[in-house]
Amino acid sequence: MNHAPPRRTSLEINGARHEVSSGITVAAALSLFAHGITRLSVQAEPRGAFCGMGICQECRVLIDGQLRLACQTLCESDMVVSTGTQTHGESNQ
């Protein structure tokens, strides 16, 4: 049986280009390339996806300029994801 290799999708996370398998969530991509950190709390502590089903709201990130839940959003080609955890003065979500 001939199995085709998994399809890949390229997206940007915090200014860096990454390739992921098609069909994974943004939260999964963040776990691969951003230590699972989705945002910083008001005390500047890293937060990440907690419930995995969109109820806790801990995984909210900017995706293509809109605040969305990383655990409920599938990676798409050329998607731009910003976690707000950059250290160069960007605001936190």
33: domain CATH number is: 3.10.20.30
In a domain, 36, yes or no: yes
Number of structural domains (the chain) is 1
C-alpha 40 chain-centroid distance:
13
Reported pTM: 0.83
How far is 35 from 53, CA to CA, in rounded Å?
19
- For 9-19, write each residue's pLDDT tens digit: 999 999 999 99
In a domain, 92, yes or no: no
- For 48-89, write each residue's pLDDT tens digit: 888 988 899 999 999 999 999 999 999 999 999 999 776 433
In a domain, 93, yes or no: no
In a domain, 2, yes or no: no
In a domain, 33, yes or no: yes
Q: What phi-psi label fits residue 78: left (phi over 0), alpha (psi between -120 and 50 degrees) or beta? A: left
In a domain, 1, yes or no: no
Phi, psi of 32, deg, nearest 5:
-80, -40
Those residues whose C-beta lies under 8 Å from the C-beta of residue 37, and which sit 6 or more positions away, are: 30, 46, 47, 48, 83, 85
In a domain, 14, yes or no: yes
Q: Give the range of the structural domain holding residue 32, as residue numbers without chain letter.
A: 8-82
